[in-house]
Amino acid sequence: MGTAGALGLLTAARADAQPAPLRSNTPLQRVIAAARAETQVTRFYDPSYVKLSYPGGDPPPDRGVCSDVIIRAFRAGGVDLQREVHEDMARHFASYPHLWGLRTPDPNIDHRRVANLMVFFQRRGKAMPITDKAEDYRPGDVVAWDLGGGLLHLGIVVDERLSPTGPHSLVHNIGAGARLEDVLFDWRILGHYRYF
């Protein structure tokens, strides 16, 4: 039997042993699928500072903050925001907010801060108009909100609607783990970004 035949039998045997994972063929589809999957994994809101490996570091998968939903989803699409934000901050530190008293970039936390992600997306030319029309917000878009009192929040639009005529839902973690909810216009939108 030739190599191609042997590989075919091996692939068939593996397929019989367990179902093949669903494969999405574009980075955007992988991002959306990963965001939706977060609702089954991330159970807790935990803003703790964590020493992370670099690149590709992540807090434990069952916990995190709103930005971790975005970071994990983007990794599925081939974008490591930890590395991307850190490298951009290392080159252009003065362009980023100085709200935390840091004198140099910190790859353990910088990418997990909403204000830094907003600056990063803006610097990459990924900002979209902020409108009050639900149809302007497409699956894969990242939305930043002002919750009031200086609190910022992020979510990612996914390809699911919770009502037939409603807007696309978003996945976000505002305090009880990652959730799929219709919250697009629940707070004042400060940023709208389309990376993919």
Compute the distance between CA of residue 119 and CA of residue 99 in angstroms, rounded to an integer. 13
Q: Could you tell me the pTM of the whole model? A: 0.85
Burial of 3 (0-12, 13-18, 19+ CB in 10 A): exposed
The tens digit of pLDDT for each residue in 21-69 reads 445 589 999 999 999 999 999 999 999 999 999 999 999 999 999 999 9
Burial of 52 (0-12, 13-18, 19+ CB in 10 A): middle
Q: Quick one: pLDDT at residue 170?
A: 98
CATH number, domain 25-193: 3.90.1720.10
Compute the distance between CA of residue 178 and CA of residue 173 in angstroms, rounded to an integer. 4
Q: Quick one: pLDDT at residue 83?
A: 98
Burial of 24 (0-12, 13-18, 19+ CB in 10 A): middle
Q: Quick one: pLDDT at residue 24?
A: 57
Domain ranges of the chain: 25-193
Averaged pLDDT, 151-169: 94
The tens digit of pLDDT for each residue in 61-112 reads 999 999 999 999 999 999 999 999 999 999 999 999 988 888 899 999 999 9
Confidence tier at 165 by pLDDT (50, 70, 90): confident
SS3 101: coil
The tens digit of pLDDT for each residue in 2-28 reads 434 433 333 333 333 333 344 558 999
Averaged pLDDT, 105-128: 97
Q: How far is CA 105 from CA 2, 71, 88, 120, 122, in A?
A: 54, 17, 9, 13, 18
Q: Quick one: pLDDT at residue 9?
A: 36
